[in-house]
A = this chain, B = another copy of it.
Amino acid sequence: MYKLLKRENRAKRGELHTVHGVIQTPVFMNVGTAAAIKGAVSTQDLEQIKTQVALSNTYHLHVRPGDRVVYQMGGLHKFMSWDKPILTDSGGFQVFSLAGLRKIKEEGVYFQSHVDGRKIFMGPEESMQIQSNLASTIAMAFDECPPSKADHSYVKASVERTTRWLERCKNEMDRLNLQEGTINRDQMLFGINQGAVYPEIRIEHAKRITEFDLPGYAVGGLAVGESHEEMYHILEEVVPWLPVDKPTYLMGVGTPANILEGVERGVDFFDCVYPTRNGRHGHLYTNHGKLNLFNAQFETDERPVESGCGCPACKRYSRGYIRHLLKAKEMLGMRLCVLHNLYFYNTMMEEIREALDQGDFAGYKARKLLSMNTPI
């Protein structure tokens, strides 16, 4: 289903064919945790900002409205009114970072809902069942994401269990995809590589999960506390052990610079809350660095956030107006900033693909980084 179209050193230009259409890679997935992009952004808006893939969170949707509700409503695509691809995470990361009191056992994780304190159990089978109910295009394997500072022996044991969980995920997903009543019987399962900052554990794990011959593989457990340099180093070590003819997904990353470095190291799927979260705080990405629209200097600035930008905010509204909205706590201010930031990310991915097509990714990357570090 994945076609590798071109390479420039390790960087990959590809496309992933899915039942919900073709994803051109490298791609940045736009995060809509609870089946909506935060900041009052609708799926109608997404069509204006070059979004290819929406990402939703299994844990959040399991807790509210409940994956059975989404299933009854015909799955996430129908529920959100979005017919392009959707990726759901496994719920594992949120269980480890958000939920209260939890216990990890061989069978899975016992924890409490952050919404109502209700006791929940989630293991590989439950995660697959929930994601099958959500009927996303791509489901992620249920894994443990150990802290980046966890010691070697803990990480080794954890990763071995994650491998056993992957086998259970695959078996359950195969079963669900054959089952009558399943909404998306072509749901893809991506495996996840773990191993914290220990290259030998990462590499050993990459070899093991590759044997499952899944349609894609993610590198998880990065951008959780280690330095950027450590992250780049891990990518250099582990990505060569993941299949080049399958998509490679770097989970939860990152800044525009992180993405450019990731692409260079062979990654072609990314996701991150930065553009939405920063947008809600009035921090805007431009090709000449970030702007903080709360700064007084923008009070009567009639220019758009970035001149020449084709996003719905820049085509129509000034920095001064958006600043006023943010100061007055008008929700429209946040919405315009989120639209701009997502458009900036999605446009950068488009530029990356064009540069790869033309065999000039290295040049593009250098120019983009220089420009972003050079305020006007």
Q: Could you mark each residue 262-299 of chain A with 1 if its beta carbon is under 8 Å from any beta carbon of chain B, else 0? A: 00000000000000000000000000000000000001
Decide if A300 touches B40 in the complex (CB within 8 Å). Answer: no
Given the known interface contacts A38-B330, A300-B72, A332-B42, the answer about A81 and B325 at a Cβ–Cβ threshold of 8 Å is: no
Bound state CA distance, A79 and B74, in angstroms?
A: 42
Interchain CB contact (< 8 A) of A331 among B40, B64, B336: B40
| List of B residues within 8 angstroms of A81 by Cβ | 316-317, 321
The reply on A147 being an interface residue by CB < 8 A is no
Binary flags per residue of A34-55, CB closer than 8 Å to B gives 1, else 0: 1111111111100000000000
A324 CB–B CB distance under 8 Å: yes
The complex places the Cα of A331 from the Cα of B39 at a distance, in Å, of 6
Cβ-based interface call for A327 (8 A):
yes
Q: A85 at the A/B interface (Cβ < 8 Å)?
A: no
A302 within 8 A of B: yes
Shortest CB-to-CB span from A116 to chain B, Å, is: 12
Q: Which of B38, B69, B332 contacts A299 (CB 8 A)?
A: B69
Q: Which residue of B lies closest to A327 (CB)?
A: B64
The answer to whether the Cβ of A243 comes within 8 Å of any Cβ in the partner chain is no
Asked if A327 contacts B40 (CB within 8 A), the reply is no
- State whether the Cβ of A334 lies closer than 8 Å to any Cβ in chain B: yes
- A347–chain B nearest beta-carbon distance, Å: 19
A320 close to chain B: CB less than 8 A: yes
Let me know if A117 is at the binding interface, CB within 8 A.
no
Chain B nearest CB from A341 CB (Å) reads 15
B73 A40 Cβ-Cβ under 8 A: no
Residue from B39, B44, B64, B331 within 8 A of A312 (CB atoms): B44
Chain B CB within 8 A of A150 CB: no
Q: How far is the CA of A69 from the CA of B44 in the complex (A)?
A: 33
**CB-based contact B44/A321 at 8 Å:** no
Contact A320 B73 (CB under 8 A): yes
Q: A49-81 toward B: CB 8 Å interface, digit per residue (1/0)?
A: 000000000001000110001001110000111
- The proximity string for A residues 323-351 relative to B, scoring 1 for CB distances below 8 Å and 0 otherwise, is 11101101111111000000000000000
Chain B CB within 8 A of A318 CB: yes
A65 touches B299 (CB 8 A): yes
Q: What is the CB-to-nearest-CB distance from A355 to chain B, in angstroms, rounded to a whole number?
A: 32
Q: A36-B328, A40-B40, A69-B324 are in contact. List 17 more A-B contacts (CB 8 A).
A: A35-B325, A36-B330, A37-B332, A38-B331, A39-B40, A40-B330, A40-B334, A42-B317, A60-B328, A65-B299, A69-B299, A69-B320, A79-B320, A80-B321, A81-B317, A331-B334, A335-B335
Which residues on A are within 8 Å of B, measured CB to CB? 34-44, 60, 64-65, 69, 72-74, 79-81, 299-300, 302, 312, 316-318, 320-321, 323-325, 327-328, 330-336
Shortest 6 CB-CB contacts between residues of A and residues of B: A40-B40, A40-B331, A40-B335, A65-B324, A34-B328, A36-B330
> 23 A-B contacts, Cβ less than 8 Å apart?
A34-B325, A34-B328, A35-B321, A35-B325, A36-B325, A36-B328, A36-B330, A39-B331, A40-B40, A40-B330, A40-B332, A40-B335, A44-B316, A60-B328, A65-B327, A65-B328, A69-B299, A73-B318, A73-B320, A79-B320, A79-B321, A79-B324, A335-B335
